[in-house]
Amino acid sequence: MENMMSQAFRDLVGVVARLRSPEGCPWDIKQTHESLKPFLLEEAYEVLEALDTQDPRHLREELGDLLLQILLHAHIKSEEQTFDIEDVIADLIHKLIRRHPHVFTATSGEAPKLDSEQVVNQWEAIKRAERSTPSDSVLAGIPTSLPSLLRAHQIQKRASRTGFDWKTSEQVLEKLDEELGELRGATSRLPVSEPSVQQPSAAVEHELGDVLFTIVNLARFLRINPEEALRKANNRFIARFQYMERHAAPEGRALQEMTALEWDTLWEAAKSQEKIESHQASVPLETQDNE
């Protein structure tokens, strides 16, 4: 099996090299690191979507698409004679071994018993020791290109490891109430006019940013990834809204022609349908057949 996997990987590297060769694909040949950036992000999110669907075949396909992006970036560097995919793999192997001393370097039978949080702390300590300038900020290296919610989460996690943190989630909730009060104060000072013609307010933007940052803190205390939570909330909203559209259509009406009460009735029906589908998805097929 190992030899088959190695050969398959070599074949894949060869396919990518052929695509980038003078006799290859015009589209692949003209790609650069910069032009491939959107595709890398897109494929990563499609992997997340495949994980949500829990469809193994879909996940298998999307993981392959993501792997292609990695191979393309590595091959471009090999063309520049900077590094190749084997260097990438070698570096990763060394990093994993170096940052897991409790697994790879501990004497047999004497490996320390670490829980997952201790492992993360050890990983971060090793990363800090690896920096060329140990005096670097603990917040150094967090990519600015991360989605803002995820970046806020990473910033707060790093800062918390210095002890700069709340003690309880209740304290975060109190801070959230405080920030919401400041946001209400900022919005109360806006001129009375239609929202569509208001000029953006720097003060409101500032306070709204603080509210969002505090919500991310709350998510962290509840051990919830805020980016993941919002992504799932987006998907729920889309599913419920499309349910409303479908069930308004048979009556020959558009949503904008309905009253707020009718919207609410359809929305609650969509939520009920969501619960039914969620229950069915969690029940084994043989159990469903007996229901």
Q: From start to end of 5-109, where are the E strands?
A: none
Report pLDDT for 234: 93
User: pTM of the full predicted structure?
Assistant: 0.70
pLDDT at 115: 84
Does 235 share its domain with 257?
Answer: yes
- Residues lower than pLDDT 50 in the chain: 1, 291
pLDDT value of residue 162: 85
pLDDT of 283 reads 61
pLDDT in tens, 50-95: 998 889 999 999 999 999 999 999 999 999 999 999 999 999 999 9
Number of domains in the chain: 4
- Structural domain containing residue 97: 89-105+119-126
Which pLDDT score, from 0 to 100, does residue 1 have? Answer: 45
Do 76 and 100 have their domain in common?
Answer: no
Task: Evaluate whether residue 175 is within a structural domain.
Answer: yes
Answer whether residue 288 is part of any domain: no
CATH of the domain at 42: 1.10.287.1080
Q: Are residues 153 and 213 in the same domain?
A: yes
Residue 266: predicted pLDDT: 93
The reply to whether 161 and 219 lie within a common domain is yes
Q: What is the DSSP string of 174-227?
A: HHHHHHHHHHHHHHHTS-SS-GGGSPPPHHHHHHHHHHHHHHHHHHHHTT--HH
- Residue 185: inside a domain, yes or no? yes
- Whether 194 is covered by a domain: the verdict is no
Is 31 part of any domain?
Answer: yes
